[in-house]
Structure formats: C-alpha cells, structure tokens
Amino acid sequence: MEKLLQISQEVREALEKGQAVVALESTIITHGMEYPTNVQTALGVEEEIRNKGAIPATIIVTKGILRVGLTQEEIEEIGKNKHQYQKCSRRDLAQIIAQKGYGSTTVAATMMIANMAGIKVFVTGGIGGVHRGAEHTFDISADLVELGQTPVAVVCAGAKSILDIPKTLEYLETQGVPVVGYKTKHFPNFFTPDSGLLCSTFVNSSQEASELIKAQFDILKLKNGILFCVPVPQDQAADGQIVQQAIDKALKEMDEQNVNGALVTPFLLKRVNEITDGMSSKSNVALIRNNARVGAEIAIQLCQK
C-alpha cells in the first residue's frame, strides 16, 4: 500500500499535524477543459486553497501509482499532455494500476483515493449524475454510487443540465447522501445558481458545514459521503438560456454520433464549451475557484477541536 499510494511530503505533514487538506480531482484537467485553461484553473484553485490557509492535494495516477499532492510543474505537465491520461472512475482503477498506466481521476475515483489518504474534504466543479434518457441508456455516473459508499465531503456547484437533475437528486436520496445547499436552499445548476429544485438541507456557514460532517462521519459513523452545493456567484453566472441552448444542441449531436459510455460526459462538456464560445468556460473557472474558497474554509473548520 505504501508504494501504491504516494502522498506528497507537504500533504503528509499537514495530515499528520491535523491541518486542513483539500483534495482535488484531475479528470477536470484532462477531460473537462482545454489547455491552457485547464492548467490555469488547476493552479488557480490550488492558490485559492492556500490563500485560505489549507493545503491542496490534487489526485492522479501516474505509472500505476496513486498520487496525492502534486507540484505546480507536475500540474503543468499533466495539463499539456492531457491526452496521455485515461479517464479513471472506480471500475478503471485496478486496470490502470495493473498496467502501470496514466489515469486522471473522476469524482468517484478521487473520493476513493482521498479516503485512503485520510482527506475528508474534496472540491470540484460539477459531479456526474443521472443522464437524460437514463431510462433507456441506464447511464448513471459512478460518482453517485461512490457518494453512497465513501465518507468524503464533496463541495461542488451542483450538476450541469446535461444531466437529468430530478433523477440525480432521487438517486442521491436513495444512496442516503445529504445534499446540502451552502447558504441556499436551492440545488444549483452549475452555470446558474438555481435549478428550481431543493437541496435536502442547507447550512449558513463553514462552521455549520463542519458540524454536519462531524455528525455524519464521527457521531453516526456513516460510510456515505456528503454533497455540499455552492451556487455560482450571481455576477459570474452564465446566461442560462444560452447555456441551455448549447446543452440541447450538444445532446442532439451526441445522439446523432452515437456517443456512449465513459465518452458521454467529456463529449458534452467539450461541445458546450465550444458552442458557447468559451462563455461557459469563463463561469466554469470562476465557480470552481469559489468552490475552492468554500471547501478550504470547511476543511479548516473541521480541524478546529
């Protein structure tokens, strides 16, 4: 295990001292954004976390080794050579280890590795979910199942409407995952602050968030995760109508081109970015940085005795 899981010295020392550490995923770098936006965003997110006084731990697999905590140079390299990385969810981890391959981790795989490393808080942009038409395709992201079985608090901006949001929320309820609005009762729609649906509960501060995490993991000792949903700041939100049109177009193209399986989410993310001419990418970057600030505050609160 020691050899398989390589935690950077900085992250290891922070964990040993009980300091705040925030996990970050890497599929967003390799399959969610283009170079150089991917690198700028990943570094920007790490900077936000450091500015708050927590330690960022970006997670990836290189040569079959699970890596927790990367240098700026490594993040730059990964972003540049993103095509070298296979998108890795739970089902792909054994394969990538056995083949000593290169894999970027989805929300599901990042939760697993964060949990192995003892990291409780993980920041991302948007989670995977139940896809539209799932009643025919059965396409439900392994992220949702992972949230049902791995005790990590995931901070996100809700889910994109490339997904079926009502079904996604139903699935999370079935999996026993608290869906917690951060200073809102409404489940955010990634690019816009309100999907029109409600979270299962809400908190009004990082302190309240940390109390909820402690109740779930320490008092009840539950094994399932928690989803914190931070709405995109109003002045950074995208034009909902333009994004929705782009999503509808991307979904139509996906059907026409018979895109399926693990390719679905990367295909939709890429097309929505292209169709909105980078407009969606701009609010994407802003909301992830905002999530990073909130996640760092929660992680810091969680370390207070």
158 contacts which partner out of ligand PSU, Mn ion, none, CB within 5 to 8 A by kind?
none
- 146 is an interface residue for Mn ion by CB under 5 A: no
d(CA 31, CA 86): 9
Instruction: Centre a 10 Å sphere on the Cβ of residue 51 and count the other Cβ atoms it contains.
Output: 11
Would you count residue 269 as binding ligand PSU (CB under 6 A)? Answer: yes
Give 36 or 53: the residue with its C-beta nearer to ligand PSU: 36
Which part of the chain contacts Mn ion (CB under 5 A), choosing from 13-21, 55-63, 133-141, 199-207?
A: 133-141
Q: Does 141 bind ligand PSU (CB under 6 A)?
A: yes
Q: Are 130 and 114 in contact (CB under 8 A)?
A: no
Neighbours of 107 (CB within 10 A): 28
Instruction: Please report whether residue 139 would count as binding Mn ion according to CB under 5 A.
Output: yes
Question: Which residues within the stretch 225-254 sit at the binding site for Mn ion (CB under 5 A)?
Answer: none
Of 137-145, 147-155, 169-177, 288-296: span binding ligand PSU (CB under 6 A) = 137-145
DSSP-assigned letters across all residues of the chain? -TTTEEE-HHHHHHHHTT--EEEE-SHIIIIIS-TTHHHHHHHHHHHHHHHHT-EEEEEEEETTEEEES--HHHHHHHHHTGGGPEEE-GGGHHHHHHTT--EEE-HHHHHHHHHHHT--EEE-S----BBTTHHHH--B-HHHHHHTT---EEEE-B--TTB-HHHHHHHHHHTT--EEEES-SBPPBTTBS--S-B-SEEESSHHHHHHHHHIIIIIS---S-EEEE-PPPGGG---HHHHHHHHHHHHHHHHHTT--GGGHHHHHHHHHHHHTTTHHHHHHHHHHHHHHHHHHHHHHHHH--
- Minimum gap (Å) between residue 289 Cβ and ligand PSU: 14
Binding site partner of 250, from Mn ion, ligand PSU, none, Cβ cut-off 5-8 A by kind:
none
Residue from the set 43, 142, 198, 242 that interacts with ligand PSU by CB under 6 A: 142
Q: How many residues bind ligand PSU (CB under 6 A)?
A: 17
Q: Closer CB to ligand PSU, residue 206 or residue 273?
A: 273
The one-letter code for the residue type at 201 is T
Give CA angle at 195 (193, 201), nearest 5°: 85
Residue 32 within binding range of ligand PSU, rule CB under 6 A: yes
Rg (CA), the chain: 18
Closer residue to ligand PSU, CB minimum distance, 51 or 137: 137
Out of 12, 90, 160, 271, point to the residue binding ligand PSU (CB under 6 A). Answer: 160
Query: Per DSSP, what are the bridge partners of residue 121?
Result: 22, 153
| From 20, 22, 27, 79, residue interacting with ligand PSU (rule: CB under 6 A) | 27
Number of residues that bind Mn ion (CB under 5 A): 1
Closest to ligand PSU by CB, 120 vs 160, is 160
Q: How far is the CB of 264 from ligand PSU (least distance, A)?
A: 6
**Which does residue 46 touch among Mn ion, ligand PSU, none (CB within 5 to 8 A, set by kind)?**
none
Distance in Å, CB of 91 to ligand PSU, minimum: 10
Return the active site residues. Answer: 25, 160
Residues between 92 and 131 with contacts to ligand PSU, criterion CB under 6 A: 106-107, 125-126, 128
Q: Tell me which residues touch ligand PSU (CB under 6 A).
A: 25, 27-28, 32, 89, 106-107, 125-126, 128, 141-143, 160, 262, 265, 269
Residues interacting with Mn ion, by CB under 5 A?
A: 139
